[in-house]
Amino acid sequence: MSGRMIADKVVKYILFASAIISIIIVLAIGFFIFRESIDAWTEIGVSEMLFKTVWRPGIDQYGILAMIAGSLSVTFGAILLGVPLALGCAIFLAEIAPEGVQAVVRPAVQLLAGIPSVVYGLFGMVILVPLIRNINVPGNSGYGLLAASIVLAVMILPTIASIAEDAIRAVPENYRHGSLALGATKWQTITKVIIPAGKSGIIAAVILGVGRALGETMAMIMVIGNSAIMPRPLSSNPLTFFLSQARTLTGNIAVEINYATGIHESALFATGVVLFGLIIVVNASARRIIRSQKYVEKAN
């Protein structure tokens, strides 16, 4: 056996071992969290934890439905605000901007990914919260889902924009040339040809953004109000729902884990299990959507 073949086999085994280790780490984390949460599931009950809205460890009430609603609401708000901005940025960088502009805008967008989350939280507290507080609605403190959604939208922007830009750039040039040759405008080519062709990668970018949003902790603690209550409109206007304070699953764990003991600590680990499950569902949904899109593309 030649030296090149031996080197290839060694590299193959190293890469295989790396993949196996990654799987083992994920399984170990899941096992540890679930093991620590067993007492909560058995003593409190699955339905009591998942479908009750009151979280008061002092009187043995451990309902996490309010935190689930808070996490899903702020994630929805962040996606609603962040995805159009991120996709617009990706299209601009991939299809419209000249090289000189790309050299300035792309590093600026990528720099957003490197800013610590606590800095985003400080920005939200100092700038966004006072601005939102000016909205004349009874009970509006400025802290709440709206401030958290805006901060989170900015935080997920670089992830979605970078991956979506790569997906758009991966579309073959023949698609662009063919569309333009048939008389389509630049914008028609982008919306009718390039974006549909890169749909799988764009969907993957959005799903990764959702996972990033679900897992954010520090910035959310600083601007969401951190009240363990079910989010609700502050007035008859349903849009005031986003002015309500809330608490996320990650925030609940971070705030209370330092002093929790006994069943309280186990309930926080159960909160982590629910969060872990949500992220698994998001990733599995993403894989299914991407596969279905590829199947449709092959069928066409």
pLDDT digits (tens, 9 = 90+) for 210-233: 888 888 888 888 999 888 889 899
Q: Does the pLDDT at position 99 exceed 90? A: no
The tally of domains found in the chain comes to: 1
Contacts 24+ apart (CB under 8 A), 132-139: 132/243, 135/243, 137/234, 137/235, 137/237, 137/240, 137/243, 138/234, 138/235, 139/234, 139/243
19 in any annotated domain: no
pLDDT for residue 175: 86
pLDDT for residue 205: 87
209 in any annotated domain: yes
pLDDT for residue 9: 83
What is the SS3 assignment for the chain? CCHHHHHHHHHHHHHHHHHHHHHHHHHHHHHHHHHHHHHHHHHCCHHHHHHCCCEEHHHCEECCHHHHHHHHHHHHHHHHHHHHHHHHHHHHHHHHCCHHHHHHHHHHHHHHHHCCHHHHHHHHHHHHHHHHHCCCCCCCCCCCHHHHHHHHHHHHHHHHHHHHHHHHHCCCHHHHHHHHHCCCCHHHHHHHHHHHHCHHHHHHHHHHHHHHHHHCCHHHHHHCECCCCCCCCCCCCHHHHHHCCECCHHHHHHHHCCCCCHHHHHHHHHHHHHHHHHHHHHHHHHHHHHHHHHHHHHHC
38 in any annotated domain: no
> pLDDT tens, 147-191?
999 999 999 999 899 989 988 988 888 888 888 888 888 888 988
- Measured in degrees and rounded to the nearest 5, phi and psi for residue 49 equal -75, -45
The CATH number given to whatever domain includes residue 216 is 1.10.3720.10
54 in any annotated domain: no
28 in any annotated domain: no
> pLDDT tens, 189-210?
988 889 888 888 888 888 888 8
Q: Does the pLDDT at position 296 exceed 70? A: no
Q: Average pLDDT of 118-138?
A: 91
Residue bearing tokens 């509006």: 140
Buried b (16+ CB within 10 A) or exposed e, 201-221: bbbbbbbbbbbbbbebbebbb
> pLDDT tens, 35-75?
999 999 998 888 888 888 899 888 888 999 999 999 999 99
191 in any annotated domain: yes
Q: Distance (Å, rounded) from C-alpha 167 to C-alpha 177? A: 18
- Find the largest Cα–Cα distance for the chain: 79
Q: Which domain holds residue 94?
A: 65-299
| pLDDT bracket for residue 295 (50, 70, 90) | low
Q: At what angle do helices 249-256 and 65-91 cross, to 10 degrees?
A: 120
Q: Distance (Å, rounded) from C-alpha 133 to C-alpha 238? A: 17
| pLDDT bracket for residue 114 (50, 70, 90) | confident
Chain center to CA of 86? 13
Q: What mean pLDDT, rounded, does the chain reach?
A: 87
pLDDT for residue 285: 77
Q: Are 136 and 188 in contact (CB under 8 A)?
A: no
Q: At what angle do helices 249-256 and 199-215 cross, to 10 degrees?
A: 30
User: How do 55-56 and 61-62 pair as beta strands?
Assistant: antiparallel
Q: Does the pLDDT at position 100 exceed 90? A: no
128 in any annotated domain: yes
| Two tokens, residue 68 | 């689930």
176 in any annotated domain: yes
